[in-house]
């Protein structure tokens, strides 16, 4: 039987950070799971406040030579002063993502929509709340006054709607109200003195931000709003076997045994008439049966989830709260790790489809009107981390929404390069938004002046090629990579020591101390920039040869690559972050930008640069000694670094810490502020512990945590488009299956003697210092067996 991956609860969520996420890439839902009054908080992925703003500062190019002169002369405060005046966008901030509102559903409750009421489940028994990660369906069951109720919720990608079905075990037992709301969500519970034992929202109610909100007929509710010029609409159609009334303010049915709600949503960023689009989706769903839509949803959702499965431990019907508690015990719980890994892939499938926007800082799930860091795309680590797992966990096509964003950013970045720098190519700084804004963001010295965000994004295109070996994809996207690299042919400047460096720049978002105690992030040629550009120039050189382009810029890329400063090792055995060995202002800084080449890059590795890899490991240790890596996306990055160090003990300890560090009940990364990057970075780290291929060698179980004694993973993808299944027991390989999609030579490292067999018999191999190589045919299975 297929393994179930179900998040189970015996009490609902009272906090947004504990609610359960559902989505189809465009519509995002946070379902609290309450019985009597349920809140479904809603997002639409294209609902960004306002239109695109041209923020490019044309005065920068006049000041740039002087900024550079001051930096090279060591006059950092003076350089900072000019940067604060000339290298800031106008205005300083781009657009932000925000909530669409909420759909509140009451079952057998009177007057449920007093603006002060929280979701509630008073007077219910036998409560169950499940999120089936394989099917993308939430099911809540409860008993009240002897009647058993069931509510199912999912968001269909094929039918473009949120679907809700409420049923009762006794005919005619349901009275249901449904209404839209759009206000600040306060999760504080304050006891209400008017109704003993009841609770209301804490804090001040912020009011409703909708322009229209009423029924169009007795079974259709519609709402319209505006977010700084971005018009949006949402509409619900109801199907009921009970009696309907039309109070105009909400949907109402009584005496029902089954009620279905179908919600559509749209914004003017996609639709000329958002209301017409929302109504069309809701009404089209209403003409089908709930079971038909559910079957289409599961047929779409489950195959993607089943492609790659990690099986460890035994959930044994335990609730997620119980698994989290077990995970806090010494040694952790492998079943918790398997469920967490599956949840990470679930977030990608639910939050980012090919026809949706890229996953932002919160994926698509956001309850605020002005969220932390605007819930946009931070390009100095966060949006990249969102996509670290997609290729190796067999969700390659879901990388495409990021590629669409990169294309928009590239076009905007050409204008930024021309207007702000007077240079060719395309440039993007440390943030972008729905519209691809590429101008500097904020007025924060440690991040605003970093020019390398677009170059890093471009390397996702190259990674997709390395995994798929799709030459037509490479031919389509090589021009985008080329634009980001072309900018740096103009931007790189001589440092006086024979090297070409970025200037000004920063090592995101760290600061160093000068001998006089002055702290600054401003520098020339930080290690991260050199590593990213070395990789990007190298990718374009290789792409030119693969595609036979004969690009005249290839020689220039090669020449520039040779003049980039090399990585250096410092006095404490660490990899240097800047050109000189400065003291760090924050020894516990979470950003480990200078370790890009070790992960997610591949220039620093166990095969070719073991001394630099050792120095990268020392850098991580020093950060931990300084207090870094306690949770969130920094800890996720540390997991990936430990895995690349092939350190089983530290990898396992960091994963165990990550699983229980956020304090939420739903695995969300963060308690006060949710960021999806930590979830997805940790998912990538778990995958890296089980298989790596960045060196061109498929390495099985390279950093298997010591506490994961037995298990298996199926459907991983290695670079070169090789599917990999691995099974282990007592911490050692039992067997593996490789299924290449193309005929090629496979290089394999197993860390113990193995033989390769097919249905026809044993395969001839060539032994190397680290493993074996063998010729493999496309679409054939190769089984790896320890000798």
Per-residue pLDDT reduced to its tens digit, 457-477: 999 999 999 999 999 999 999
- Whether 169 shows a pLDDT value over 80: the answer reads yes
Give whole-number Cα distances, 587 to 498, 521, 569, in Å: 30, 14, 17
- Tell me the C-alpha distance between 235 and 52, whole Å: 27
Closest CA to 732 of 704, 768, 755: 704
Q: Which tokens sit at 574?
A: 């660490």
- Band of residue 272 on the pLDDT scale cut at 50, 70, 90: very high
User: Which pLDDT tens digit goes with each residue over 701-738?
Assistant: 999 999 999 999 999 999 999 999 999 999 999 999 99
**Residue 56: per-residue pLDDT:** 98
Cα 420 to the chain's mean position, in Å? 30
Residues in the chain: 787
Predicted confidence at residue 193, as pLDDT, reads 59
**CA–CA separation, 689 and 703 (whole Å):** 4
Per-residue DSSP letter, 764: P
Q: Tokens 């923020």 appear where?
A: 55
pLDDT in tens, 173-184: 999 999 999 987
Which structure tokens are listed for 416?
A: 């930024």
Pairing of strands 27-31, 500-501: unpaired
Handedness of CA 77, 81, 82, 87 (dihedral sign): positive
Q: What is the pLDDT of residues 201-245, one digit of tens each?
A: 554 444 468 999 999 999 999 999 999 999 999 999 999 999 999
Query: Could you give the CA distance from residue 700 to residue 693 in angstroms, rounded to a whole number?
Result: 9
- Kindly tell me if the per-residue pLDDT of 4 is higher than 60: yes
DSSP state of 730: T
To 5 degrees, how large is the angle CA 785–CA 741–CA 353? 115
β-bridge partners, 740: 722
Mean pLDDT of 488-506: 98
C-alpha pair distances (Å), 487 with each of 48, 94, 435, 475: 29, 22, 21, 20
Q: Are 567 and 547 in contact (CB under 8 A)?
A: no
> 116 in helix, strand or coil?
coil
Q: What is the mean pLDDT of residues 575-598?
A: 97
How would you class 278 by CB atoms within 10 Å of its CB: exposed for 0-12, middle for 13-18, buried for 19 or more?
buried
Q: Mean of the pLDDT values across residues 680-707?
A: 98
Q: How far does CA 216 lie from the centroid of its chain?
A: 38
Nearest Cα neighbor of 162 from 13, 14, 294 is 294
DSSP 550-612: --THHHHHHHHHHTSPPP-B-TTSPBPSSSS-PEES-TT-S--GGGTTTTTS-SS-TTT-HHH
Collapsing DSSP to helix, strand or coil, 217 comes out as: strand
pLDDT at residue number 672:
75
540 vs 702: CA distance, rounded Å: 30
Question: What pLDDT sits at residue 196?
Answer: 62
Mean pLDDT of the chain: 95
| Cα-to-chain-centroid distance, residue 149 | 35
H/E segment holding residue 347: helix 334-351
**Is the confidence at residue 559, as pLDDT, over 60?**
yes
Checking if the pLDDT of 762 tops 90, the result is yes
b/e burial code for range 81-106 (CB count within 10 A of at least 16 → b): ebbeebbbbeeebbbbbbbbbbbbbb
Residue 171 pLDDT greater than 60, yes or no = yes
Cα 439 from chain centre: 23
Contact between 491 and 414 (Cβ < 8 Å): no
Q: Which candidate, 193, 131, 142, places its Cα nearest to that of 167?
A: 142
Helix (H, G, I), strand (E, B) or coil at 640: helix
pLDDT-based confidence at residue 120 (cuts at 50, 70, 90)? confident
Q: Which whole number is the average pLDDT over 491-508?
A: 98
Residue owning tokens 């295109």: 461
**DSSP letter string, 420-435:** II--SS--B-SEE-TT
- For the chain, what percent of residues have pLDDT higher than 70? 96
CB contact set of 407 (below 8 Å; sequence gap of 6+) = 480
Cα angle 38, 41, 42 (rounded to 5 degrees) comes to 135
Average pLDDT (441-466) is: 97
CA 756, distance to chain mean position in Å, is: 36
**In the predicted model, is pLDDT for residue 341 greater than 80?**
yes
pLDDT value at residue 198: 57
Structure tokens at 740: 């290449």
- 661/663 Cα distance (integer angstroms): 6
- H/E stretch holding 495 reads none
First CA to last CA across the chain, in angstroms? 31
Average pLDDT over residues 261-278: 98
Angle between helices 60-72 and 76-86 (to 10 degrees): 170
Using DSSP's 3-state secondary structure scheme, residue 739 falls into strand
Taking a C-beta distance cutoff of 8 angstroms, is the pair 265, 280 a contact? no
292 φψ region: left (φ > 0), alpha (ψ -120 to 50), beta (else):
alpha
Rounded to whole angstroms, the Cα distance separating 577 from 584 reads 10
In the predicted structure, residue 113 carries a pLDDT above the cut 80: no
Does the pLDDT value for residue 197 go beyond 70? no
Cβ atoms < 10 Å from Cβ of 238: 24
168 against 671, higher pLDDT:
168
Q: Report, in angstroms and rounded to the nearest whole number, the Rg of the chain calculated over CA atoms.
A: 27
At residue 662, the pLDDT reads 79
pLDDT per residue as tens digits for the range 625-676? 999 999 999 999 999 999 999 999 999 999 999 999 878 999 999 867 899 9
475: phi then psi, degrees, rounded to nearest 5: -65, -35
Residue 528 CA to residue 549 CA, distance in Å, equals 29
Instruction: Output the CA torsion 116→118→122→124 (10° steps).
Output: 140
**Residue 468 DSSP SS3:** helix
Q: What is the mean pLDDT of residues 154-167?
A: 98
Which has more confidence, 186 or 316?
A: 316
The four Cα atoms 666, 667, 673, 677 give a dihedral, to 10 degrees, of: -140
pLDDT digits (tens, 9 = 90+) for 18-38: 999 999 999 999 999 999 999
The tokens describing 333, both together, are 């719980």
């Amino acid at each position: 039987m297929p393994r179930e991956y179900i998040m189970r609860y015996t009490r609902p969520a009272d906090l947004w950070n504990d609610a359960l996420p559902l989505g189809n890439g465009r519509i995002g839902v946070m379902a609290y799971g309450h019985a009597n009054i349920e809140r479904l908080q809603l997002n639409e992925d294209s609902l960004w406040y306002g239109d695109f703003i041209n923020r490019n500062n044309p005065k920068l190019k006049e000041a740039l030579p002087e900024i550079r002169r001051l930096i090279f002369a060591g006059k950092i405060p003076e350089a900072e002063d000019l940067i604060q005046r000339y290298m800031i966008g106008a205005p300083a901030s781009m657009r932000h993502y925000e909530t669409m509102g909420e759909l509140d559903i009451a079952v057998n409750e009177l007057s449920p929509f007093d603006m002060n009421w929280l979701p509630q489940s008073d007077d219910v028994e036998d409560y169950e709340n499940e999120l089936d990660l394989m099917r993308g369906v939430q099911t809540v069951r409860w008993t009240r006054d002897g009647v058993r109720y069931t509510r199912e919720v999912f968001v269909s990608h094929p039918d473009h709607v949120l679907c809700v079905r409420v049923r009762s075990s006794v005919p005619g037992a349901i009275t249901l109200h449904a209404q839209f709301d759009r206000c600040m969500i306060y999760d504080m519970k304050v006891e209400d003195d008017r109704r003993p034992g009841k609770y209301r929202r804490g804090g001040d109610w912020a009011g409703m931000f909708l322009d229209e909100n009423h029924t169009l007929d007795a079974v259709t509710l519609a709402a319209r709003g505006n977010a700084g010029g971005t018009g949006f609409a949402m509409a619900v159609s109801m199907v009921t076997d009970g009696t309907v009334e039309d109070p105009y303010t909400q949907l109402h049915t009584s005496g029902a045994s089954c009620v279905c709600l179908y919600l559509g949503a749209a914004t003017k960023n996609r639709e000329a008439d958002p209301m017409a689009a929302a109504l069309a989706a809701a009404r089209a769903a209403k003409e089908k049966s709930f079971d038909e839509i559910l079957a289409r949803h599961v047929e779409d959702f489950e195959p993607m989830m089943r492609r790659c499965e990690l099986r460890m431990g035994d959930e044994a019907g335990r609730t997620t709260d119980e698994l989290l508690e077990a995970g806090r015990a010494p040694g952790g719980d492998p079943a918790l790790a398997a469920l967490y890994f599956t949840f990470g892939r679930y977030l990608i499938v639910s939050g980012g489809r090919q026809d949706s926007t890229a996953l932002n800082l919160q994926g698509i799930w956001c309850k605020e009107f002005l969220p932390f860091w605007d819930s946009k795309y931070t390009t100095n680590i966060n949006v990249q981390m969102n996509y670290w797992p997609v290729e190796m966990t067999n969700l390659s096509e879901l990388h495409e929404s990021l590629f669409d964003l990169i294309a928009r950013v590239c076009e905007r970045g050409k204008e930024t390069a021309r207007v702000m720098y007077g240079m060719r190519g395309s440039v993007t700084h440390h943030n972008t938004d729905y519209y691809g804004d590429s101008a500097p963001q904020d007025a924060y010295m440690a991040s605003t002046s970093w020019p390398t965000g677009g170059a890093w994004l471009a390397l996702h295109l190259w990674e997709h090629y390395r995994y798929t070996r799709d030459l037509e994809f490479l031919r389509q996207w090589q021009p985008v990579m080329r634009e980001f690299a072309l900018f740096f042919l103009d931007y790189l400047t001589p440092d006086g020591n024979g090297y070409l460096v970025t200037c000004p720049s920063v090592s995101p978002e760290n600061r160093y101390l000068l001998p006089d105690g002055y702290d600054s992030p401003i520098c020339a040629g930080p290690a991260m920039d050199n590593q990213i550009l070395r990789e990007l120039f190298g990718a374009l050189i290789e792409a030119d040869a693969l595609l036979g382009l004969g690009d005249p810029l290839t020689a220039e890329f090669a020449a520039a690559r040779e003049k980039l400063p090399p990585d250096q090792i410092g006095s404490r055995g660490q990899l240097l972050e800047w050109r000189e060995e400065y003291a760090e202002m924050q020894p516990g800084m979470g950003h480990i930008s200078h370790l890009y080449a070790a992960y997610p890059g591949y220039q620093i590795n166990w095969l070719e640069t073991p001394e630099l890899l050792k120095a990268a490991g020392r850098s991580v240790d020093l950060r931990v000694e300084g207090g870094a890596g306690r949770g969130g996306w920094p800890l996720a990055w540390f997991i990936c670094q430990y895995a690349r160090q092939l350190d089983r003990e530290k990898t396992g300890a960091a994963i165990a810490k990550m699983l229980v560090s956020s304090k939420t009940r739903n695995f969300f990364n963060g308690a006060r502020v949710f960021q999806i990057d930590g979830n997805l970075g940790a998912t990538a780290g778990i995958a890296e512990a089980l298989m790596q291929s960045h060196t061109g060698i498929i390495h099985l179980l390279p950093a298997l945590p010591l506490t994961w004694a037995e298990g298996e993973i199926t459907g991983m993808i290695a670079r070169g488009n090789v599917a990999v299944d691995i099974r282990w027991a007592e911490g050692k390989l039992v067997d593996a299956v490789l299924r290449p999609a193309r005929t090629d030579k496979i290089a394999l490292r197993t860390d113990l003697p193995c033989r390769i067999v097919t249905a026809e018999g044993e395969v001839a191999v060539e032994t190397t210092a680290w493993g074996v190589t063998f010729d493999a045919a496309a679409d054939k299975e190769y089984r790896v067996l320890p000798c």
